[in-house]
Amino acid sequence: MSSPAQAAVVDGPVPYAEHYDPVAGKIGMWLFLFTEVLLFGTLFIAYAVYLNEHRWYFQEGSHHLDKLIGATNTIILLTSSLTMAMAIAALERARKMRSLALAAVTVLCALAFLVIKSFEWGEKFAHDIYPNSATMLAKPLGEQIFYGLYFTMTGLHALHVIIGGLVILLAMGLVWKGKVGPERIGFLENTGLYWHLVDLVWIFLFPLFCLIG
Amino acid sequence: MSAHHQDQHPLVPYRVYVVVWAALLALTAITVGVSYLDLNHVAILSALLIATVKGSLVLMYFMHIRFEKPLYVFMILAVMATYGIFIGLTFSDYSYR
C-alpha cells in the first residue's frame, strides 16, 4: 500500500550525491604520470649507459637522422601544448566553442606529428633500416643499439601521441555534451596534463636522437 | 565563484601561455643552432641543459605547477630523487664491472 507521493519517489530517478573531487582526481593523474616518467626514465638510463659505451656510433647514427624533421615535430608538439593549455583556460572562462576549437587544433597537431613521424620511419624502412633487418645486422653493434633505442623510444612516444589524441577527442565529446564544463573541468585538465607529459618526453627525445651528431 | 572553484588556482591569462610557447620555440631554435657548432662532448651536455630548461617551463606553466599548492612540487621532487637513485645505482654497478 503506497500513497501516490511514495510511488513517485520509487518510480522516479534515484537521487544520489554525485561525488566529484577534482583535487583527488588531479593527484591521481600525477601519480599515473610519475609511472610514465619512470617508464621512459628506464629507457633514458639504457640510452645513457650505451651512449657511454658506444659514443662514436651514437653520434654517427645521429648524423643520419634529420634535424629539421625533428625540429618541425618539436614545433608542432610545443604548439599543440599551447593550444591544449588554452583550451582549458577557455573552458575555465565558460567559452565552450573556443575551448573545443583549441582542442581540435591540438588533435590536428597530434595527427600532423604522426604523419611526419611515419614519413621519417618510412624513409628508414625504405633503406632497410629497422630492427633485425639485414642491413641493420651488418652494422656495428653500437649503431644497432642506437637504432634499436631510436625505434623503441620514439615508437613508445608515438603510441602515447595516439592515445593522447584519442583521449582529447573523448574529452571534446564530454565538453560538447556539457558533462565537462567550467564547474566540472577535471577531465579536461587531466587530459591536458597527459598531453603536456607527452610533449615533455619529446623535449628530451629530440635532442638525444637528432642533435648529438 | 562557486564551491567547486574554491581550491583552484586563479585564472591564468592566455598571454602567459603564449609567452611561454614563444620562449620554448626560441630555446628549440637555440638548441638546433648549437648542434651545428660541432661541440662534440659539450653538445650532449648543452642539449640536455636546454631540454631541462624547456621541460621546466612546460612543468611550471603548462602543467600549472607554479600555481598549485607546494604538495605537487614535493611529489615531483620525490620522483626525481627516486629516479636519481636509479641512475646512481645503475652507474655505480656499470662503472665497476
Cross-strand partners of A181: A184
A192-211 pLDDT, tens digit per residue, is: 999 999 999 999 999 999 99
Residues of chain B found within 8 Å of residue A193, distances taken between Cβ atoms: 63
Neighboring chain A residues of B3 at a CB cutoff of 8 Å:
none
Identity at A102, one-letter amino acid code: L
The residue of chain A with its CA nearest to that of B29 is: A71
Name the residue facing B28 among A22, A30, A71 (closest C-beta). Answer: A71
How many CB atoms are located within 10 Å of the residue A165 CB? 21
pTM of the model: 0.90
How far apart are the CA of B19 and the nearest CA of chain A, in angstroms? 10
- On the CB side of B76, CA atoms within 13 Å amount to 16
* Model pLDDT for residues A50-107, shown as the tens digit of each residue: 999 999 999 999 999 999 999 999 999 999 999 999 999 999 999 999 999 999 999 9
Min Cα separation B69/chain A (Å): 11
Q: How far is A11 from chain B (nearest CA, A)?
A: 31
Specify the pLDDT at position A12. Answer: 61
Q: Which amino acid is at B18?
A: V
Of B7, B79, B90, the CB nearest to A37: B79
Partner-chain residue, chosen from B21, B51, B90, that has the shortest CB–CB distance to A203: B51
* Minimum distance, in Å, between the CA of residue A20 and any CA atom of chain B: 9
Q: Which of A160, A152, A179, A140 is nearest to A56 (CA)?
A: A140
Report the pLDDT value the prediction gives residue B4, as an integer from 0 to 100: 46
The confidence band for A213, taking pLDDT boundaries of 50, 70 and 90, is confident
CB contact (8 A) between residue A208 and residue B87: no
For testing the chain B interface, which of A32, A82, A188, A210 should be mutated: the one with the most B CBs within 10 Å? A82
For residues A73 and B40, what is the distance between their CA atoms, to the nearest angstrom? Answer: 24
Query: Are the beta carbons of B47 and A41 separated by less than 8 Å?
Result: no
Q: What is the pLDDT of residue A4?
A: 52
Q: Which of B7, B8, B39, B62 to mutate to test the interface with A (most CBs of A within 10 A)?
A: B62
pLDDT band at A1 (very low <50, low <70, confident <90, very high): very low
Model confidence at A25: pLDDT above 90: yes
- Measured between alpha carbons, how far is B35 from A210 in angstroms, rounded to an integer? 9
The whole-number pLDDT of residue B9 equals 63
Q: Mind listing the pLDDT tens digit for each residue in A36-64?
A: 999 999 999 999 999 999 999 999 999 99
The residue-averaged pLDDT of A166-177 equals: 98
Cβ contacts of B48 on chain A, cutoff 8 Å: 204, 207-208
Alpha carbons A66 and A69: distance in angstroms, whole number:
5
Taking CA–CA distances from B26, the nearest residue in chain A reads A75
Of B5, B31, B83, the CB nearest to A38: B83
Mind listing the pLDDT tens digit for each residue in B2-37?
444 445 567 999 999 999 999 999 999 999 999 888
Please name which of A87, A117, A113 lies closest in space to residue A181, comparing C-alpha atoms: A87
Which 3 state secondary structure label does DSSP give A131? coil
CA angle (A74, A115, A66) in 5-degree steps = 50
Partner residue facing B32 (CB), from A31, A51, A71: A71
What pLDDT sits at residue B95?
86
Of A194, A172, A191, A175, which Cα lies nearest the Cα of A183? A175
Report how far residue A192's alpha carbon sits from residue A84's, in angstroms, rounded to the nearest whole number: 6
Domains of chain A, each with CATH number or no CATH: 53-210 (1.20.120.80)
Count the neighbouring beta carbons within 10 Å of the beta carbon of residue A173: 12
Is A23 close to B90, i.e. CB distance below 8 A? Answer: no
pLDDT beyond 70 at A131: yes
Most confident among A7-16, A132-141, A200-209 (mean pLDDT): A200-209
